[in-house]
Structure 1
């Protein structure tokens, strides 16, 4: 009976984390100024001020269940923690980038390129996590579950 309860708990937590990870990725993709970072190489510095408005939702599921991550194997635990830690620091990095407008143009562009790389990496990690967690939620057809 204990095994059944653990399996159900793992499935429930995985399902909740899927929703939260999808919301974080969606928040990054929907924030128009984040997409404008790609234009920084072309000299679109006028968009920097708007990066201060970037915010992600609170990580309620992760924060309230961090002690239950042991329901997953060690590799998944590590990637979940890394994803939410990185996502949490992303807003600070973008706000710092917005304040670099007064710095040299080349340095500003490099910060924008680094921020875009961080966003892309975070998005890839989130998608990988979604794929792994989906396997725990639905053993029948994990490929049919998507963020869309």
Structure 2
């Protein structure tokens, strides 16, 4: 059964399963389109990379909120791959498959969380971006 199918069953049973489908489309559609563009062209447009990395950042923040060690390691690894590619590492089919797979998992992970936790994770990521010293973070220029 699809993730969407599980969500519908949980809602029918009265479970609060996080964000609604329109909310999911609103927050995930643009990063999905940016990922598709990156994978199709192989060109690292900074806005697209930042959009995709944002999904991984929110998933990682949620993993910390949930104290989910497996997911912390999983999403930390993909961030390291994005930084390596941004610094010139080859971007071939294995890397494309890994990005696509982990992005899909991050999408499911985020959308399966409680809405309040998702909003907290987004605020955590925004706070980290704003309060990290400029010399210790990679800031993508448009």
Please state which band the TM-score falls in when normalised by the shorter chain. 0.3 to 0.5
TM-score of the superposition, structure 1-length normalised?
0.37
> Going by fraction, where is helix more abundant, 1 or 2?
1
TM-score calculated relative to the size of structure 2? 0.38
**Structure number with bigger Rg:** 1
